[in-house]
Structure 1
Amino acid sequence: MSNIFKSNSMKRLILLSFLLITLYSCSNPQNAPMAAAAPQLPVLTISGGTVATDASYPVSIQGTVDIEIRPQVNGNLEKIYVDEGAYVSKGTPLFKINENPYREQLNNALASQHSAEAVLINAQLEIDKLTPLVQNKVVSDFQLKSAKAAYKVAAANLDQAKAMAASAKINVGYTLITAPVSGYIGRLPKKQGSLISATDPEALTTLSDVHEVYTYFSLSETDFINFKNQYAGNSINDKIKNLPPVSLELADNNIYTQKGRIDMVDGQFDKNTGAITLRATFPNAKGLLRSGNTGRIKLSLSHANAVVVPQEATVEIQDKIFVFTVGKDNKVTKQPIIISGKSGTDYLVQDGLKTGDRIVFKGFENLQEGTVIVPEKESPKALAKN
């Protein structure tokens, strides 16, 4: 009994000692886990300035003259003098329509004209015969007046016959279709022997004068205001004269060897798109560009009081771009921003940041919302291009 009592007392003593050691350890601050130190990260302060951006705009390319070649008379296509893609000079024969029906119409019209001429001569002879008789009072002047009226009718009929003959002659001329300008022939959907009509929905071919080409592109209202404000001049025409040459990027991403000039601004904005159309003209002596080509015009636009951030200071998540802003208490916040363009390796910020804001420049990959950081000295990289 005494041994059992001693054993239980020993157990109580050991348990009490363990509890005292545990309580001492928990109450001793030296043994508590240390709080994680705030990360030191480089921080940038946003400043405003004037920034130049290289913007590109899709263009449609057209020849200075793009025309459809259509017949003006109906008939069988008798000859085709050119091939698809050929270069032709102004006045070169392109197509020949069977002229026999129109030649016969011309012959009939000429015969009618000759007949009307003979009738007019007879009417004049009648007047010549009656005039002295009336003067000598052999016949009444009524007959002379009737003869003069018949003469006027004959003259009118002759004029009508001449008009019919001229119209028939024009139709004969229409059977030979020539090139109205110099340029390149397009596709030839009609083949020799086809029956063609002036009302056909499809043209015989197209003809493009591409010694120069027009490139049309559109600017938004904001871009257009920025674009025109950076050049001197009291009017749009004055400003156009001061515009620098522009470059054309082709569909294969190569730059066209010749520079172009902007020479036209549309008279009004498109009410549906809110954009305005501009035209740049490029020389094309070698014919490397054709109507229907596509490309992009490269323009340099100046933006005053712009806010830019380095691309490396941003993170893209689900098609949205974020930066980590730093508050007065050095807490970071994930801030979405809206990008309006690029300038080199920087983003042009439309919304989400303002001058004076601070952002984390690097090392934000593992930052959490609300984390307190220790800002390091700002990067020497300037945000605003002055």
Structure 2
Amino acid sequence: MKAIIIAALFLYSCSPKTPEASAPGPQSLPVAQIYTGSETTFQEYPASIEGTVNVQVRPQINGALEKVYVDEGAFVSAGQPIFKINDQPFRAALNNALAAQHSAEATLINANLEVERLTPLVQNKVISEFQLKSAKATAQIAKANIEQAKANVATASINLGYTLIKAPVSGYIGRLIKKQGSLVSSTDTEALTQLSDVHDVHVYFSLGEKDFVNFKEQYPGQTLNEKLKQLPEVKLILADETEYTKTGKIDMIDGQFDKTTGAITVRAKFPNPQGLLRSGNTGKIQLSLKHDNALTVPQSATIEVQDKVFVFLLTDSNKVKKQAIQIVGKSGTNYLVKDGIKSGDQIVMSGLDRLQEGTVIAPQRTTDKIAKN
């Protein structure tokens, strides 16, 4: 039995050994080189839209609203009647003022006749000069009464004209607060309506102090007015996320920052020939900022960990290094990088979820340059 065991061991030791499985080689991943180039980024800011002219239409006299000539939302031209206040009391007041003027004119005629009658009598020393002076004073009073009567006529005429309220500018009618038959007054807290001239619109938005400094440093010019002339046109994104068909031009920057918000108000002017935009609309202003010598990295070639963005740099011996980068903006699907990498560095383009610090890879180098020239 012992001999059999020894023979079996001898045969096992002489049999060929099974080869061990070889370790897998480095994984093959695409790698691209980073270069600098010119990029344009877009930043969006909440905005409010107003007509170039927003007028509150108010009565300037008290009375009953007799007629309303327009409907809410209607377009009116400058000078077009929109409201009528009952004018009967004001016509009566004008007639009384005219009657008082005619009476004063008649009184002046009588006073002048008296002066003419007394003048020769004084010259011939029939009566004393005092009586003539008194008659002339009466004539002067009559003249003054005529002037006052004319002023009263003018006031009554103006008030009568106020009974017909006309559109001060061309634009669209807002809500009609008062209806036909309502009593209106010049002291009412609410206006009859609001009229908006929207053939052009003003779009207001705010820039924080840092954004404002970066914004104005992008463009040449010694003064703010010179810089405004160099600013590119801006776009308006409507509330439904569609882009307005016309571009606008920034034409005003407020004179000071708001102490409460720390922001400064900026205004852009947009043409609105079809009246698609109305006062009260909201949207977003899209500003373009040009970046020279910018480094760009595809978002797909980055990973985000705890609010930090990382890329995998290819280092010596084809090892990868997990490198944090500082983002300053976006351009399409690319990040603009301020710090963390430099021109000429090579980064891994995909498969980042399988990588760790120090992993060795087999780089597949592409000929694409990650930048727009």
TM-score above 0.5, yes or no: yes
Q: What residue number does 1:58 align with?
A: 46
| Deviation for aligned residue 1:229 | 5.5
The alignment partner of 1:280 has SS state of strand
Question: 1:177 and 2:169 equivalent?
Answer: no
Most deviating of 142-151 and 229-238: 229-238
Q: Using a 3 Å threshold, how does the CA distance of structure 1 residues 233 and 326 change in structure 2: closer, same or farther?
A: closer
Q: Distance in 1 between matches of 2:336 and 2:119?
A: 97
**Residue 264 (structure 1) aligned to one of 226, 229, 251:** 251
In the TM superposition, what whole-angstrom CA distance separates every residue of 1:247-273 from its partner, at most 9, and x where no partner exists?
43322233333x334151225242443
**Residue 116 (structure 1) aligned to one of 85, 104, 110:** 104
Question: 1:347 and 2:358 equivalent?
Answer: no
Q: Using a 3 Å threshold, how does the CA distance of structure 1 residues 304 and 169 change in structure 2: closer, same or farther?
A: same
**Residue 262 (structure 2) aligned to one of 266, 273, 285:** 273
Q: What residue number does 1:161 align with?
A: 149
Q: Distance in 1 between matches of 2:190 and 2:158?
A: 23
Q: What residue number does 2:127 align with?
A: 139
- Is the contact between residue 260 and residue 283 of structure 1 (CA under 8 Å) also seen in structure 2? no
TM-score computed with the length of structure 2 as normaliser: 0.78
**Residue 301 (structure 1) aligned to one of 289, 297, 318:** 289
| Deviation for aligned residue 1:343 | 0.8
Q: In the alignment, residue 74 of structure 1 is paired with which amino acid?
A: N
Q: How does 1:220-235 map to 2 (within 5 A)?
A: 220=208, 223-224=211-212, 227=215
The alignment partner of 2:353 has SS state of coil
In the TM superposition, what whole-angstrom CA distance separates every residue of 1:78-112 from its partner, at most 9, and x where no partner exists?
11111111122222211111122222222222222
Unaligned runs of 5+ in 2: 1-19
| Deviation for aligned residue 1:118 | 2.2
- Is the contact between residue 206 and residue 264 of structure 2 (CA under 8 Å) also seen in structure 1? yes
Please tell me the root mean square deviation across aligned C-alpha atoms, in Å: 3.5
Q: What residue number does 1:26 align with?
A: none
* Identical-pair percentage: 54
Unaligned runs of 5+ in 1: 1-30
Q: Using a 3 Å threshold, how does the CA distance of structure 1 residues 207 and 328 change in structure 2: closer, same or farther?
A: same
Q: Distance in 2 between matches of 1:94 and 1:371?
A: 79
In the TM superposition, what whole-angstrom CA distance separates every residue of 1:156-185 from its partner, at most 9, and x where no partner exists?
222122111211111111111111222221
Q: What residue number does 2:70 align with?
A: 82
Q: What residue number does 1:189 align with?
A: 177
Q: Using a 3 Å threshold, how does the CA distance of structure 1 residues 375 and 123 change in structure 2: closer, same or farther?
A: farther
The alignment partner of 2:146 has SS state of helix
Q: Distance in 1 between matches of 2:200 and 2:311?
A: 51
Q: What residue number does 1:129 align with?
A: 117
The alignment partner of 2:100 has SS state of helix
Q: Distance in 2 between matches of 1:91 and 1:294?
A: 30
- Is the contact between residue 244 and residue 261 of structure 1 (CA under 8 Å) also seen in structure 2? no
